[in-house]
Structure 1
Amino acid sequence: MATEDFARWAARTEATLERLLPDPSGEPSRLHAAMRHASLGGGKRMRPLLVYAAGTALGADEALLDAPAAAVELVHAYSLVHDDLPAMDDDDLRRGRPTVHVAFDEATAILTGDALQTLAFSALAAVDAPAQLRIDWVRTLADASGVAGMCGGQALDIDATGGGGRKRGQVHFPLAENEPDPFFSLSRLQRMHALKTGALIRAAVRMGALAGGADAATLAQLDMFAAALGLAFQVRDDLLDIEASSEQLGKTAGKDAAQDKSTYPTLLGMDGARAKLGELAVAMDQALAPLAPRAATLAALGELAVRRSH
């Protein structure tokens, strides 16, 4: 049943994105084409699936969830476009295709990310839904996207790459001999990913729950689930970067080691990272227990995040 739900929700997301994205034949056609290249026909759609799963678990109509599901995917797509830029991770493969700055050019990629982000908020503002719900959606997505969310997490990631930015030529105070590098602490790594990856995952669950009229206690349970899911998603990502091929991942494998990034396997070892993943799976189950059996599709998405192969 969950698999059928996921396929239907992914199709709804694709259809909503098709409707929202500008016509590639219109001007500026290059920007329009790049926006579609970044958003359509690929990806796991984990974040929109979480919107639908949380919302329908609480009785929301799927049609009401179309806009927030597409909006969170648009923000995710924008973040990937900017993350792949030469100034960030400098990657040339995403979802099995050339990244936007490779397929088009760097300036177009920057504009593409900007346009996708603003389109997300425009979509939420235009929904035929109560004003307070739209405001709550906008606030939730904005908080998850900015300095207290993805942007802040990306800044911490840049700081941590190559040992606190030392390979990027940033001004810094050198560490004393034998002083532990603060950029490679587990607590800092978890905080970084709670912002960079986890914030948007928590926002997706919360936006769906808000559409279903969730009370404060339910929102708190779902936030605990989403926080564990966000970290689990990243731990699995770190493991796959080592274990999987570029063909499996649809992006360049081995980038973490090449860029001297702080990851769960580098801090905990492969066995330690797998154990951490198991702990997070238990935490997800415990958070959803008070909502069973309504939360079956959310639980299935949690299991998918832990066991995924790409």
Structure 2
Amino acid sequence: MSHSARIERALETAVASAQAEDAAPGLAAAIRYAVFPGGARVRPQLCLAVAAACGDGGHDLVDAAAASIELLHCASLVHDDLPCFDDADLRRGKPTVHAKFGVPLALLTGDALIVMAFDVLARAGVADPVRLPGLMSCIARGVGAPYGIVAGQAWECEITAPVDAYHQAKTGALFVAATTAGALAAGSDPAPWRALGEGLGAAYQVADDLLDALGDCEESGKTSGRDDALQRPSAVKALGVRGAVALLESHLDRAAASIPECAGAKALRETVRVQATRLVPKQLARTAA
């Protein structure tokens, strides 16, 4: 089974667990809407790829870790789009959850997805209790305080924010969780895989800054111009478009170079090269061509 199929199967199983005939129908519908159809599923793909490189590509706990990370990512998007933060009306090419279901249900949907993510891990971990505690802690650090997604969102509530710390928490932390969780779920040392997550997370943040600044809603699938409107720090503001593209390429090179020597190293480096092509906004790629 392909990585994509494994991810979608695990996510479908998780979402189905939150649905029942006597459950609140609006919440059930909003949860499904928030998860499907998804984006590129980059973070769970990365988790599975690292696990495979560590020699374990079919373990149930690996699939659970990948699904958990994607559910947490989806939750962060739902909350990030709320009027109290980005006040965005478009995500993944369709109305945001609060635009379609209202703010109260959107808030509850994000909360439910966070709980669901750890429930998925707990259920899979019953069969592998030795690996579960470290995996739970690893993923929790990627989303909580003081350095996870929640911390990244909190920096937006401050008058000023250190750019590196803000971006590392808001974007990089979950990428680090994806790579290290893949190793942990496969029974390997997570430390050598941290740099890969850091490099890819930094690259994705710069790419996001570029798409937001260039105002290409069709390509990004979400509301653009929010960094400027909300006066948030960005690579484009600091370096200009050309400087941001150079920084993006530098982060991707660093990520590829950090991959430890292992059976799956060549395939992972190819994955990073593919991401390099995909991350550069299309209009910039056309200009370069």
For 1:28, give the aligned amino acid.
A
The aligned length equals 275
Contact persistence 1:50–1:301 (CA under 8 A)? no
The answer to whether residue 215 in structure 2 is matched with residue 248 in structure 1 is no
Task: Determine the C-alpha separation between the residues in 1 that align with 2:118 and 2:223.
Answer: 30
Contact persistence 1:281–1:306 (CA under 8 A)? yes
The answer to whether residue 69 in structure 2 is matched with residue 78 in structure 1 is no
Could you say which residue in structure 1 is the equivalent of 2:273? Answer: 303
For 1:296, give the aligned amino acid.
K
Q: Deviations over 1:90-131 (max 9, x none)?
A: 001111111111110100011101110001101101115321
The answer to whether residue 218 in structure 2 is matched with residue 211 in structure 1 is no
In terms of mean alpha carbon deviation, does 193-202 or 268-277 score higher? 268-277
Superposition map of 1:123-134 within 5 A: 123-127=120-124, 128-134=126-132
Could you say which residue in structure 2 is the equivalent of 1:146? Answer: 144
Superposition map of 1:37-186 within 5 A: 37-64=33-60, 65-127=62-124, 128-147=126-145, 148-159=147-158, 164=159, 183=161
Task: Determine the C-alpha separation between the residues in 2 that align with 1:302 and 1:45.
Answer: 14
1:37/1:74 Cα in 2 relative to 1: closer, same or farther (>3 Å)? same
SS, match of residue 225 in structure 1: helix
1:74/1:292 Cα in 2 relative to 1: closer, same or farther (>3 Å)? same
Task: Determine the C-alpha separation between the residues in 2 that align with 1:297 and 1:46.
Answer: 15
SS, match of residue 75 in structure 1: helix
Could you say which residue in structure 1 is the equivalent of 2:199? Answer: 228
Deviation at 1:32, TM superposition (A): 0.7
Deviation at 1:213, TM superposition (A): 2.1
Q: Calculate the aligned-residue CA RMSD, in Å.
A: 1.8
Task: Determine the C-alpha separation between the residues in 2 that align with 1:107 and 1:23.
Answer: 19
Deviation at 1:307, TM superposition (A): 2.8
SS, match of residue 117 in structure 2: helix
For 2:156, give the aligned amino acid.
D
Superposition map of 1:8-19 within 5 A: 8-19=2-13
Contact persistence 2:236–2:243 (CA under 8 A)? yes
Could you say which residue in structure 2 is the equivalent of 1:175? Answer: none
Could you say which residue in structure 1 is the equivalent of 2:27? Answer: 31
1:271/1:264 Cα in 2 relative to 1: closer, same or farther (>3 Å)? same
Give the alignment's TM-score, normalised by structure 2: 0.89
Task: Determine the C-alpha separation between the residues in 2 that align with 1:278 and 1:305.
Answer: 10
Q: Deviations over 1:20-64 (max 9, x none)?
A: 112365411110110010011121101100110000111113242
Contact persistence 1:236–1:305 (CA under 8 A)? no
Deviation at 1:157, TM superposition (A): 2.6
SS, match of residue 11 in structure 2: helix
1:308/1:26 Cα in 2 relative to 1: closer, same or farther (>3 Å)? farther
Task: Determine the C-alpha separation between the residues in 1 that align with 2:232 and 2:27.
Answer: 32
SS, match of residue 126 in structure 1: helix
The answer to whether residue 239 in structure 2 is matched with residue 268 in structure 1 is yes
Task: Determine the C-alpha separation between the residues in 1 that align with 2:88 and 2:199.
Answer: 28
1:75/1:123 Cα in 2 relative to 1: closer, same or farther (>3 Å)? same
Task: Determine the C-alpha separation between the residues in 1 that align with 2:171 and 2:201.
Answer: 6
Q: Deviations over 1:249-304 (max 9, x none)?
A: 1101222222222100101111221221222122112211x425522343234334
Unaligned stretches of 5+ in structure 2? 282-289
Task: Determine the C-alpha separation between the residues in 2 that align with 1:308 and 1:63.
Answer: 29
Task: Determine the C-alpha separation between the residues in 2 that align with 1:38 and 1:24.
Answer: 18
Q: Deviations over 1:154-187 (max 9, x none)?
A: 111332xxxx2xxxxxxxxxxxxxxxxx64xxxx
Deviation at 1:248, TM superposition (A): 1.4
For 1:104, give the aligned amino acid.
F
Task: Determine the C-alpha separation between the residues in 1 that align with 2:206 and 2:66.
Answer: 24
Contact persistence 1:75–1:117 (CA under 8 A)? yes
